[in-house]
Amino acid sequence: MYTRIRSTGHYVPERVLTNQDFERMVTTSDEWIRARTGIERRHIVSPGETNLDLCEKAARSALGAAGLGAEDLDLILVATTTPNQVFPNMGVLLQDRLGGHGYPCTSLESACAGFIYGLAIANSLIQTSQCRRALVVGGETLSRITDYTDRSTCILFGDGAGAVILEAASEPGIIATHLHADGAYKDLLYYPSGISLGFDRLRESRDFIRMKGGEVFRVAVNTLSQLALETLEAAGVTSTDLSWFVPHQANLRIIQSIAHKLGLPMERIVLTIADHGNTSTASIPMALDVAVRDGRIQRGQLLLFEAFGGGFTWGSALVRY
């Protein structure tokens, strides 16, 4: 039993923050942001718009592309670090929005690698016949935990959601997934508040994403380059066999460094960072859907997904689309 990607979808909120907008908010410049990150604009939720709204639209887009409804699913996984509420989990809330009933739904918080973790878990459940068709969503509203007075982080993040429908197939599909984590890096990239730590201090001031950008950058480049080689080697393929590399869109320079180490031309990399910014766990399914819908990604092509984020957590998936 194998798993294939049946369809994809994504959604970005209508409101856009450009680099020029940031020039009016903090001491920065369009030139600096483009040169250091590759970002030109990012989509941001409006007041009252939530992550669940984004996830619902991305999920409906993937269901629509497959000609399926919520009753045709038997699993929903939502990867996110910005859930609407602590419980019910985002998977259950999404199932309710879509009109499904009875089958398992949950969410997982693995920062930017969450979608890859979700893909690996859904793949395992399909391969062991515990479900036949899964909706896996990555959705974030990072703007809700971004400090718009901190120029070193606020220019990076955007909101959005991406979704895939996975289903049982007689041929792979998902060829291999590799997952990793190392909590020794927990202080380099984190959001400091949570339920068990207590929300008392939040009443006095909001908490925000904290990041030691330079250190994250260095570890991300080395780790992701090694991970790509590990994944390709384990599958007995090389970077020349890849049709498309669909990386987590955190920083164009990180992606360029990995491409250089792999000997992969930039023309074979799906890049959405200029338009989306860093949308954490949503970035890979969003980029995937963009490239599927504009015709770059075709059936039968070999794709490599790779993500790295807070924890650190990181993971890859090698996929025959």
Q: Which residues are catalytic?
A: 112, 248, 278
**Residue 303 carries which DSSP code?**
E
- Does the footprint of ligand ACO cover residue 220 (CB under 6 A)? yes
Q: Is the bond leading into 88 cis (omega within 30 degrees of zero)?
A: yes
Instruction: Name which position in 63, 73, 108, 155 contacts ligand ACO (CB under 6 A).
Output: 155
Binding status of residue 79 toward ligand ACO by CB under 6 A = no
Token duo for residue 20: 């020029």
CB nearer to ligand ACO: pick between 98 and 113: 113
Query: What does residue 318 show for φ and ψ, rounded to 5 degrees?
Result: -105, 125
Q: Rounded to the nearest whole angstrom, what is the least distance from the CB of residue 189 to ligand ACO in the complex?
A: 6
Q: Does 146 participate in binding ligand ACO (rule CB under 6 A)? A: no
* Residues 232 and 17: beta-carbon distance below 8 Å: no
**Residue of 62, 63, 105, 216 that binds ligand ACO (CB under 6 A):** 216
Binding window for ligand ACO (CB under 6 A); candidates: 54-62, 67-75, 179-187, 210-218: 210-218
- Contacts of ligand ACO in 275-304 (CB under 6 A): 278, 280
* One-letter identity of residue 101: H
DSSP string of 40-95, one letter each residue: -EEE-PPTT--HHHHHHHHHHHHHHHHT--GGG-SEEEEE-SS-SSSSS-HHHHHH
Amino acid at 115: F
Q: Is 65 in the site for ligand ACO (CB under 6 A)?
A: no
Q: Which stretch binds ligand ACO (CB under 6 A): 31-39, 72-80, 173-181, 197-205?
A: 31-39
Q: What is the number of alpha carbons within 13 Å of residue 203 lying toward its C-beta?
A: 3
* φ/ψ (deg, to 5) at 175: -80, -45
Burial 162-178 (b: 16+ CB within 10 A, else e): bbbbbbbbeebbbbbbb
φ, ψ (nearest 5 deg) of residue 47: -55, 135
Tokens of 316: 């890859």
**Which of 173, 309 has the CB closer to ligand ACO?**
309
Provide the minimum distance between the beta carbon of 250 and ligand ACO in the complex, in angstroms, as a whole number: 3
- Which residue's Cβ lies closest to ligand ACO? 213
Q: Is 36 in the site for ligand ACO (CB under 6 A)?
A: yes
DSSP state, residue 17:
E
Residue 11 near residue 58, CB atoms below 8 Å: yes
| Residue closer to ligand ACO (CB basis): 9 or 138 | 138
151 binds ligand ACO (CB under 6 A): yes
168, 217, 237, 301: residue in contact with ligand ACO (rule CB under 6 A) = 217
- Catalogue the E-assigned strands of 68-190: 75-79, 105-108, 133-141, 159-169, 174-181, 189-190
Closer residue to ligand ACO, CB minimum distance, 135 or 250: 250
Stretch that binds ligand ACO, among 9-17, 65-73, 199-207, 247-255 (CB under 6 A): 247-255
Interface ranges with ligand ACO (CB under 6 A):
28, 32-33, 36-37, 111-112, 151-152, 155, 189, 213-214, 216-217, 220, 250-251, 254, 278, 280, 309-310
